[in-house]
Structure 1
Amino acid sequence: MLFNSFAFLLVFLPCALILHFAAERFAPQWRLPLLAVLSFAFYGYWDWRFLPLLMISILVNWWIARAFGHWGRRELIWSAIVVNLIVLGVFKYADFGIGLALQVTGTALTPLELALPLGISFFTFHHIMYLTDLKAGRAPQIGLLRYTLYITFFPQVLAGPLVRWSEVLHQFDERPYQRSDAAERFARGLVLLTIGLAKKVFIGDPLSVYVNPAYEAAAAGAVSTTAAWQATLAFPFQIYFDFSGYTDMALGIALLFGVVLPQNFETPFRAVSLQDFWRRWHMTLSRFLRDYLYIGMGGNRHGLAVQLFATFMTMTLAGLWHGAGLTFVVWGMMHGVGLAVGAVWRKTGVPIPPFIGWVLTFSFLALTFILFRAPTFEVASTMFEALFGSDIAGERFRWRTIALAAAVALLGPTAWTFTQRLPPSRWVAVLTAIVFVVILFKIGDDANYEFIYFQF
């Protein structure tokens, strides 16, 4: 069920909170099993057929972790990581590979046409983070229940944030409603959930009106210059408010259950360089890529050539992670080249004025996001041609929603920072309740949009 749905907001979440409060208050030993059951129920609501895959992946990875603790054989960890990647590859990339083989060799193979399990990229990376840290001696052995909850905790199982074991495991052992600040944390969780919903419903979803028709027209073979520019400027903000809104909801919901998840965005469109952008955008993924890929390839410890190679390969793989298509791969490669150019420029010691850096960075992002959004190179090519064409077709440039999105993204603090700064106040509670009710009416009137990152 979607976070922005009546089923979740009016049924699942209230019932889950009541059960969780009762367990924490009267039977604390049942709190973690209850959270695990709720997480499986939440995941299974999407498609119960993938529950066995999730459960088996948890059991197998946990058993291998235990076996490693008993025998200390590093091959166990490497084997588990390889198997995890193979499973991810079969579900997510098999048909992509089959299509690529047809283009390159002419070999006709039958596509598998497997349904993509929601969240498979995210829970696979959680397995890999824990196993890698266990092999390195950084992670402890943990019981099956806590490992299950680390993988499946429902606020973050489908689209993150990517959470390290060290960030949450100790929180599972706490008595969240016994804390002196329990009421305040719960209230801030509600505010954060409401802000995330507002970002999604009032800004992210309306931007789709600028984006989707333009790409549909491009897929049909022609799109006007005005529509192309509207879509190009709108999509970076659409995906930001969609994904950061989801993350705010996830963080807020987790707070309601007494768990603090890591932030995932830090005003990314204020970035004055591409490196700065990736420090602010999807921060938990950027951290994963840095610690488990970039550094493993040599990072910046072995000279500039190795650094540039590691940067390029890391971002290429990041592009592939985002989607099984060559457009995503090329998008990642372009970011790898952009980061490499930035690294070389920094070696010269010549500073770029912040405003110029911001203009160059946002322009690069907006243009490369065309490849991210376009389903094919042909659609992307049509969009690029339209951007620099003259087919305005008498259209009026619709800018108000884009301007609102830009103002909020550039001027406002992150939702987490804003929420933490809010003083406890009756007026804040009343305003939050009013906004929440308005959101419910909005959800009832409009189409209920899925979150963009669910496809990854």
Structure 2
Amino acid sequence: MLFNSFVFLLAFLPAALLLHAAAERYRPQARLPLLVLLSFVFYGWWDWRFLPLLAGSIGVNWLVARVLPRDRSGWLFPAALAGNLAVLAAFKYLGFLADLANLIPGLALPRPDLALPLGISFFTFHHIMYLTDLRAGRAPSFGLTRYALYIAFFPQVLAGPLVRWSEIMHQFEERPYARPDAAERIGRGLMLLTVGLAKKVFLGDPLAAYVNPVFQAAAAGKIVTVAEAWQATLGFTFQIYFDFSGYTDMALGIALLFGIVLPQNFDVPYRATSLRDFWRRWHMTLSRFLRDYLYIAFGGNRRGLAIQLAALFATMTLGGLWHGAGLTFVAWGAAHGLGLGAGVLWHRAGGRLPHLVGWALTAAFVMLTWVLFRAATFDAALAIYKGLIGLAPAGSGFKWRTILIAAAVAILGPNAWNAVHRLPPSRLLAAAFALLFVVVVLKIGDDANYEFIYFQF
């Protein structure tokens, strides 16, 4: 079920909160098993056939974690890592690999068409983070219930944020409604949920109506005009931000309602003055994962400039592939790897840019590479790029109002988490957010209800 759906907002979430509050008060030892059950119900609502995959993934990795500290053979960890990646590859990349193989003359492999289980990339990375830290001696062993909740906790199981065990496991031991700030946490959680919904419904979804038809036309081989190309490129730049940051705000807000603080994932990324700064602000938990578990493992910046540049390129290329099983995603990641490498060389040479120039160059690079991320094929991306540089008819009807509002909010607006936590509690504020929530719900019932972009990854 979508966070922005009636069944979630008006049925599942209220019921889950009531059950959780009852368990917290009358049967505290049942609280964590209840959260696990609720998380499985939430996940199974999409497609119950994938429940065995999630349960099996948790069970097998938990058993590996129980044995790993005593393993002296050295094979268990690489086997577990390979097994997790193999399951991910089987569902997400088998068709992609078949397409690559079929580029070889004479090969005609059938293309598997497996349904992609929601959240598989995210819960696979959670397993990898925990097992890696456990092997390194940084993580302790946990019981099955706590481990299952770490992997399947429903606010973040489908699209993150990517949460390290050290950020959440200790919170499972708390009595969230016995805290002196429990009421304030619940209030701020509701505010974050409402802000995230508003981002998605009032900004992200309207932009989708301006973006999707243009990229669909490009994928169909039609000519994209200059106006359409700029509308789609600018529109997607802000659509993906409000779609994903809105989801993250909702995830953080919902988790707060259950007494759990999840890590932030966005910090006004379109204010970044360099590409490195952008990746410190955009999908921050993924950036941390790529840095700590790939970039450093590849050598990082401790083994010379050549290794550092190669590590950046490899890390970001794999990051692009993680987002989607397609060469356009690989090209998007590789472009960011090259851009980050160019930034390293620029700083090594002593180069400096005024903040405004750095911001403009970063924004232009990010916006132009989003075309690769969104386009279905390179031909579709090329059709958009031709429009952007004027190698197409001028066209007309550029939808600038919604894009301008979205740009102003994304660039000038505050970080949602910080803004919500700075607002002083008051009845007037509560009434304003209650009214906003009602308006958002009415809007959900009136318009098309788009799935979140990151659910496909």
Higher mean alpha-carbon deviation, 284-293 vs 109-118, is at: 109-118
Q: How far did 1:393 drift?
A: 5.1
Give 3-state SS (helix, strand or coil) of 2:155's partner. coil
Q: Which moved more, 1:240-249 or 1:68-77?
A: 68-77
Task: Tell me the alpha carbon deviations over residues 270-290 of structure 1, each in whole angstroms, 9 at most, x when there is no partner.
Answer: 001101000000000000000
Deviations 1:313-347 (A, max 9, x none): 00000010000000000111111100000000000
Show the counterpart of 1:40. Answer: 40
1:184-195 alignment, distance < 5 Å: 184-195=184-195
Q: Distance in 2 between matches of 1:394 and 1:31?
A: 58
Would the alpha carbon gap of residues 387 and 165 (structure 1) be closer, same or farther in structure 2, given more than 3 Å must change? Answer: same
Residue pairs, 1:189-228, within 5 angstroms? 189-220=189-220, 221-228=222-229
CA distance in 2, matches of 1:231, 1:86: 36
Tell me if structure 1 keeps the 8 A contact 2:225–2:395.
no
Q: Which amino acid aligns with 2:375?
A: A
TM-score (norm 1): 0.99
**Are 1:266 and 2:267 counterparts?**
yes
Q: What is the CA–CA distance in structure 2 between the aligned matches of 1:16 and 1:151, rounded to whole Å?
A: 18
Structure 1 pair 427/392, CA: closer, same or farther in 2 (3 Å)? farther
Look up the equivalent residue of 2:373 and give its one-letter code. Answer: F
What amino acid does structure 2 have at the position aligned with 1:164? R
Query: SS at 2:104's partner residue?
Result: helix
> Paired residue for 2:417?
416
SS in 2 for 1:74: coil
Q: Is the 8 A contact 2:192 2:416 kept in 1?
A: yes
Q: 1:398 to 1:71 in 2, by over 3 A?
A: closer
CA distance in 1: counterparts of 2:83 and 2:302, whole angstroms: 30
Q: Distance in 2 between matches of 1:265 and 1:431?
A: 25
What letter corresponds to residue 203 of structure 2 in structure 1? I
1:319 alignment counterpart: 320
2:186, 2:410 → 1: CA distance? 26
1:104 deviation in Å? 2.7
- Note if contact 2:69-2:135 (Cα within 8 Å) is conserved in structure 1: no
- Aligned in 2, Cα 1:61/1:275: closer, same or farther, shift over 3 Å? same
Kindly report structure 1 stretches of 4+ aligned residues shifted beyond 3 Å.
70-74, 390-394
Paired position in structure 1 for 2:91: 91
CA distance in 2, matches of 1:12, 1:300: 47
Establish whether residue 5 from structure 1 lines up as the match of residue 5 from structure 2: yes
Contact 1:74 1:135 in 2 (8 A): no
The residue number in structure 2 matching 1:250 is 251
Question: Pairwise mapping of residues 289-438 of structure 1 onto structure 2 (< 5 A)?
Answer: 289-389=290-390, 391-392=392-393, 395-438=396-439
- CA–CA distance in 1 between the matches of 2:406 and 2:184? 29
Counterpart CA distance in 2 for 1:216 and 1:153 is 35
Distance in 2 between residues matched to 1:390 and 1:59, nearest whole Å: 55
Distance in structure 1 (CA, Å) of the matches to 2:278 and 2:147? 32
Q: Distance between the aligned counterparts of 2:7 and 2:260, measured in 1?
A: 23
* AA at the equivalent of 1:49: R
The equivalent residue for 1:151 is 151
CA contact (8 A) 1:58 1:148 kept: yes
Q: Does 1:446 align with 2:447?
A: yes
> For 1:387-438, what per-residue CA distance to the aligned partner results, in whole angstroms no more than 9, with x for missing partners?
1226455513221111111111111111100110010010110001000000
Partner letter of residue 136 of structure 1?
A
Q: Partners in 2 of 1:84 and 1:109 — Cα distance?
A: 25
Measure the CA separation in 2 of the matches of 1:127 and 1:74.
18
Q: Could you tell me which residue of structure 2 aligns to residue 177 of structure 1?
A: 177
CA contact (8 A) 1:122 1:159 kept: yes
Partners in 1 of 2:219 and 2:57 — Cα distance? 38
1:193-246 CA distances to partner (integer Å, 9 max, x unpaired)? 000000000001111122111112212321111010111111111000000000
Q: CA deviation at 1:73?
A: 4.2
Q: In structure 1, how many angstroms separate the alpha carbons of the residues matched to 2:431 and 2:442?
A: 17
Q: How many residues align?
A: 456
> Is the counterpart of residue 103 in structure 1 residue 125 in structure 2?
no
Amino acid at match of 1:88: L
SS at match of 1:107: coil
Deviates more, 1:229-238 or 1:104-113: 104-113
Asked if the contact 1:298–1:310 (Cα under 8 Å) also holds between the matched residues in 2, the reply is: yes
Contact 1:316 1:329 in 2 (8 A): yes
Superposed displacement of residue 71, structure 1: 3.4
Distance 1:455 1:380, change over 3 A: same
**RMSD, aligned α-carbons:** 1.0
1:148-170 Cα distance to aligned partner (Å, 9 max, x none): 00000000000000000000000
Equivalences for residues 100-179 of structure 1 within 5 A: 100-179=100-179
Contact 1:65 1:77 in 2 (8 A): no
- Please say if residues 168 and 260 of structure 1, whose CA atoms lie closer than 8 Å, have aligned partners that are also in contact: yes
Q: Distance in 1 between matches of 2:294 and 2:277?
A: 19
Query: Is the CA contact (8 Å cut-off) linking 1:226 and 1:391 kept in structure 2?
Result: no
**Matched position secondary structure for 1:104:** coil
Is the contact between residue 68 and residue 74 of structure 1 (CA under 8 Å) also seen in structure 2?
A: no
Q: 2:279: which partner in 1?
A: 278
> CA contact under 8 A between 2:223 and 2:392: conserved in structure 1?
no
In 1, the alpha carbon distance for the partners of 2:37 and 2:72 equals: 32
Report deviation, 1:105: 3.9
* Aligned 8 A contact 1:274 1:339 in 2: yes
Q: Unpaired segments of 5 or more residues in structure 1?
A: none
Q: Read off the aligned partner of 1:454 and give its amino acid letter.
A: F
CA distance in 2, matches of 1:294, 1:188: 35
Q: Calculate percent identity across the aligned residue pairs.
A: 67
Q: Can you list the C-alpha shifts for 1:252-277, whole angstroms capped at 9, x where unaligned? A: 00000000000000000000110100
Runs (5+) with no aligned partner, structure 2: none
Q: How does 1:21-60 map to 2 (within 5 A)?
A: 21-60=21-60
Distance 2:399 2:118 in 1: 35
